[in-house]
Structure 1
Amino acid sequence: MAVPSAGAGPDRDAVSAVRIGVLVPLTRPGWVEAGQHLLAGIEWGADSVNGSGGIDGRPLELVVRDTAADPGRAEAAVDELAGLGVAALAGEYHSVVARAAAARADALGLPFLCSSAVLDALTERPTDRVARLSPPQSHGWRVYADFLLDAGHHHIAVATQPSVYWASGVRVLRDHLATRGGTVVELDVREHSPTVLCDKLVEQRATALLLLVGSPVPAVPIVRAVRRDRRLAGILVGAPAGQPEFASWGTTLGDDGAGIPFLRYLPDELGPLAMQVEAGLRERLGGPPSFVAYEGHDTVAFLAALLREHGTDRARIAEAWPVVTVEGTRGPIRFGRTPGSGVWQWTGAPIQVVDRDPECPDRFRVLRSWRRGQDR
């Protein structure tokens, strides 16, 4: 689906505009709510750039394409956007889709700043053309594993679906938990109904169940089944991929959706810039913005600074990732290389383990925080 470009209209000179291609999941089976938040942040960022003079007097135009969580659709969109002359590519939430887009962008020489996907192996080979804002899965999920261990959970069950992303998450958890005597048991949701899954949890004597599955289905039915099973009254339900972050989780599950720890990428306190952006995003979204919306804003803020300093030539953009520093909503953004990653990486992204407060499910509790140079 083609989405009208932000900033387009009769008062815009399409020839003079600086175009950025945007990939977001806006229809099912994509995580639509995440895509809406990501796009809202990107659009707010573009509006801010244009409100402050654009790119050296030229308007910034977004050319948006819906990936619908389909890697093939994303690859076709990258081909189309490259042909439309975009200076760079931005966005995407789903890791498998982002990986397909990154490979195609790299092959075409098109710079790609990935906003939200965390899969470590975003590209099969090292490249200068791809950069990422969100922390690698191996980093964030180790923070989550440490939270589980410190809370006394050493025997973990995971409800899983077939996916490169979920399989990678299981490996991270298993490897990290094993260093402190922890174990991980996989329960394939294709083989177990929510009721049978509860029986398996009792048999395995797991103290925590992690939802490595899509939302709302099958995550929501699993949560309801576990909450209603008296045998599992003491089990912790967790969702490291962040399913409880979005408002639909609380609306659908109510009190059952509280007390389920998940990962999000926000600092403990928002600074002046973030508070200003938060107000604008809240108005645009009709509710509190998720961390994904901030990622969207920061994506455009960084690309705009890079374009202003180094121009719109794709090769020059790819060379400039590590030499530009931008104050984002969640801290100063500068890219570097990290072991095991073939892309430019923001190493300072904050990480939190958070849940919805059982006393007030609309309120979030920070259970653990990580920022470069600190862990608490």
Structure 2
Amino acid sequence: MSTAPTSPVRIGALAPLTRPGWTEAGRHLLAGLELAVGEANAGGGIAGRPLELLVRDTAADPRRAEAAVEELAGLGVAALAGEYHSVAARAAAARADALGLPFLCSSAVLDALTERPSDRVARLAPAQSHGWRVYADFLLAEGHSRIAVATEPGVYWAAGTRILRDHLAPRGGTVTELDARALSARELAGELAADGATALLLLTGFPDPAVPLVRAVRRDPRLAGLLVGAPAGQPEFPAWGALLRGDGTGIPFLRYLPERPTPLGARVEATLRARLAAPPSFVALEGYDTIAVLAEALRAHGTDRDAVAASWPRVTVRGTRGEIRFTRPGDAPVRQWAWSPVQVADRDPAAPARFRTLHALPGDPTLPALPGHPTLPGAAPTVRN
């Protein structure tokens, strides 16, 4: 590859752009990545060299993710960015680490992003155990301690169930698992009515079986007082509102945004809204922040892969959702922005296109960790009814 001063600095980008990947999340992620690359180039690029994004579709498939990493490494990329699905991100991270290729993961949250500690891999999204504990605290604050989860097989869903159970049990909570593959939506509603749970959490794929489950629960008079929740964030995206309309409101989900946008966040959000012709999700902002971090690392520390990886603990970037710094909290295997702000939000029943913040935890890069309770000293979560 040419090393002339004007040759591009290449960054590989991974995103789910075809099914069975969550393509809407992939589009938002890619929109944020591309916007940040364009802005970096408008500001002079990397020492006069333009950034070039080489995009590969993972379709949420670990094997495709591995193959993409191999290909991109061979094309001379300085670093990898992106990915939304945890199973694909884990495969990409393992291959990138083996190849000595820096990988800044944008959105995947599974705690064990790598099986062993890696200095090559860093992550922007909060670890699942952090965000889902915040969600569990919200449920308890709202009076819900008897929880049912409609779940499918998969490492991400299994991890979420375990986190909820481990966090709720010492506080008097229970978690009942219902198999969303073995039971029809109507059968699952019947199981819920017999169980007596006050909240049902959707730990399932979208649109199926999540959409039929929501419709079945909303239409069953025995479940009129049941809270439906979706901690994985499905209601964040426009397709949720388009498919479920009023049935999709009042369903709390996790999103990684501050209570009030930063000036940069507001500007980027407005630009992305025009590009996407829809409100951008937090995933789009994660994409933008990923490139912002990599561009700063490349400018300040050079385009050599070793230099990029070595920059993780030293880089500080003003992101769309706050100041980004990387640490290795607790026994986390990778460098982590610990932590981005966390919200529990829902779609307003009075205006389904509008989101309400129900519970919020501000981000703090000094917050301790994966094993501990996610409460900031002197900064209690806010709850809005």
Alignment pair present for 1:145 and 2:136: yes
Deviations 1:182-231 (A, max 9, x none): 00000011110000000100111010000000000100000000000000
**Residues 120 and 340, structure 1, Cα contact 8 Å, conserved in 2:** no
Alignment pair present for 1:240 and 2:238: no
Show the counterpart of 1:278. 269
Given candidates 97, 104, 108, the residue that maps to 2:88 is 97
User: Aligned ranges for residues 321-336 of structure 1 at < 5 Å?
Assistant: 321-336=312-327
Show the counterpart of 1:210. 201
User: Aligned ranges for residues 152-163 of structure 1 at < 5 Å?
Assistant: 152-163=143-154
Show the counterpart of 1:345. 336
Show the counterpart of 2:155. 164
Given candidates 20, 43, 46, the residue that maps to 1:52 is 43
Amino acid at match of 1:129: R
Q: Say which SS state the counterpart of residue 312 (structure 2) adopts.
A: helix
For residues 141 and 348 of structure 1, the distance between their equivalents in structure 2, rounded to whole angstroms, comes to 13
Deviations 1:280-305 (A, max 9, x none): 10111001110000000000000000
Show the counterpart of 1:254. 245
**Residues 5 and 48, structure 2, Cα contact 8 Å, conserved in 1:** no
Give, in angstroms, the shift of residue 341 of structure 1: 1.2
For residues 15 and 73 of structure 1, the distance between their equivalents in structure 2, rounded to whole angstroms, comes to 31
Show the counterpart of 1:190. 181
Show the counterpart of 2:258. 267
Amino acid at match of 1:25: P
Q: Say which SS state the counterpart of residue 266 (structure 2) adopts.
A: helix
**Residues 90 and 113, structure 2, Cα contact 8 Å, conserved in 1:** yes
Task: Give the alignment's Cα RMSD to 1 decimal.
Answer: 1.0
Amino acid at match of 1:132: R
Identity of aligned residues (%): 69
Deviations 1:25-77 (A, max 9, x none): 00000000000000000000000100100011000000000000100000000
For residues 268 and 150 of structure 1, the distance between their equivalents in structure 2, rounded to whole angstroms, comes to 19
Deviations 1:54-110 (A, max 9, x none): 011000000000000100000000000000000000000001110000000000000
Q: Say which SS state the counterpart of residue 201 (structure 2) adopts.
A: strand
Amino acid at match of 1:30: G
For residues 306 and 13 of structure 2, the distance between their equivalents in structure 1, rounded to whole angstroms, comes to 19
TM-score (norm 1): 0.96
For residues 356 and 6 of structure 2, the distance between their equivalents in structure 1, rounded to whole angstroms, comes to 48
Given candidates 121, 131, 134, the residue that maps to 2:125 is 134
For residues 125 and 273 of structure 1, the distance between their equivalents in structure 2, rounded to whole angstroms, comes to 35
Given candidates 36, 39, 47, the residue that maps to 2:30 is 39
For residues 119 and 252 of structure 2, the distance between their equivalents in structure 1, rounded to whole angstroms, comes to 35
Given candidates 104, 126, 137, the residue that maps to 1:113 is 104
Give, in angstroms, the shift of residue 119 of structure 1: 0.1
Q: Say which SS state the counterpart of residue 331 (structure 2) adopts.
A: coil
Q: Do the aligned partners of residues 14 and 194 (structure 1) sit closer, same or farther apart at CA in structure 2, a change above 3 Å counting?
A: farther
Q: Say which SS state the counterpart of residue 33 (structure 1) adopts.
A: helix
TM-score (norm 2): 0.93
Given candidates 65, 73, 98, the residue that maps to 1:74 is 65
Structure 1 gap ranges (5+): 1-12
Amino acid at match of 1:182: G
For residues 190 and 94 of structure 1, the distance between their equivalents in structure 2, rounded to whole angstroms, comes to 20
For residues 181 and 38 of structure 2, the distance between their equivalents in structure 1, rounded to whole angstroms, comes to 44
Deviations 1:98-146 (A, max 9, x none): 0000000000000000000000000000010000000000000000000
Q: Do the aligned partners of residues 369 and 206 (structure 1) sit closer, same or farther apart at CA in structure 2, a change above 3 Å counting?
A: same
**Residues 6 and 48, structure 2, Cα contact 8 Å, conserved in 1:** no
**Residues 105 and 122, structure 2, Cα contact 8 Å, conserved in 1:** yes
**Residues 19 and 60, structure 1, Cα contact 8 Å, conserved in 2:** yes
**Residues 242 and 262, structure 1, Cα contact 8 Å, conserved in 2:** yes
For residues 190 and 82 of structure 1, the distance between their equivalents in structure 2, rounded to whole angstroms, comes to 38
**Residues 241 and 263, structure 1, Cα contact 8 Å, conserved in 2:** yes
Given candidates 229, 240, 244, the residue that maps to 2:220 is 229
Alignment pair present for 1:63 and 2:37: no
Give every structure 1 segment of 4 or more consecutive aligned residues whose post-TM-superposition deviation is greater than 3 Å: none
Structure 2 gap ranges (5+): 365-375
Amino acid at match of 1:338: P
For residues 123 and 236 of structure 1, the distance between their equivalents in structure 2, rounded to whole angstroms, comes to 35
Give, in angstroms, the shift of residue 276 of structure 1: 1.2
Give, in angstroms, the shift of residue 348 of structure 1: 2.9
Amino acid at match of 2:149: V
For residues 243 and 181 of structure 1, the distance between their equivalents in structure 2, rounded to whole angstroms, comes to 28
Alignment pair present for 1:84 and 2:108: no
For residues 309 and 320 of structure 1, the distance between their equivalents in structure 2, rounded to whole angstroms, comes to 9
Residue correspondences, number: 364
